[in-house]
Amino acid sequence: MAEVSRRQARRQAVILLYQRDVTGLPVPELVENALRAGEHADDPFTQALVDGVEADRDAIDLRISAAADGWTAERIAPLERNILRVAVRELGCGDVPVPVAIDEAVEMAKKWCAAEAPRFVNGVLGRVARENEEAAA
């Protein structure tokens, strides 16, 4: 297994979770498909993110819905939703600095989503981060 950066691992986690949403295939099958395609889907950080999102999907989606003014997680485009899921998971873990988690998510939205997505992602994650700060105070 080749070593990948955390940025690459985040992107791979988003892709796997997006594929799960769109195809309904189980994550292990998607990981196997990605490995056959030469992706680093078996990276430990990727797997931790995917497993964490899968385990806490309902709670993460509630956080997204609460922070996405006028939107529910189900109404958000699948790619944006999974970018948000990975970032919300990271914001809740405390081992990644808040600005890094938000910036990585915004950069993915810039690269892969519609023009308004980066601003939307930034706003939702900013609200989630503030809620986390208030809860910790």
Query: Quick check: is 1 in a domain?
Result: no
Q: Please give the tally of structural domains in the chain.
A: 1
Structural domain boundaries, residue 44: 6-136
Query: Quick check: is 31 in a domain?
Result: yes
**Residue 55: how many CA atoms within 13 Å on its side-chain side?**
7
Query: Quick check: is 35 in a domain?
Result: yes
* Arithmetic mean of pLDDT, 113-129: 97
- Residue-averaged pLDDT of the chain: 94
**Total-model pTM:** 0.95
pLDDT in tens, 46-99: 999 999 999 999 999 999 999 998 999 999 999 999 999 999 999 998 789 999
pLDDT at 2 over 60: no
CATH of the domain at 70: 1.10.940.10
Q: State how far the Cα of 17 lies from the Cα of 107, in Å rounded to an integer.
A: 17
**Residue 85: how many CA atoms within 13 Å on its side-chain side?**
32
Query: Quick check: is 123 in a domain?
Result: yes
Closest CA to 106 of 133, 130, 86, 77: 86
Residue 40: band (very low, low, confident or very high) from pLDDT cuts 50, 70, 90: confident
* Arithmetic mean of pLDDT, 104-118: 97
pLDDT at 136 over 90: no
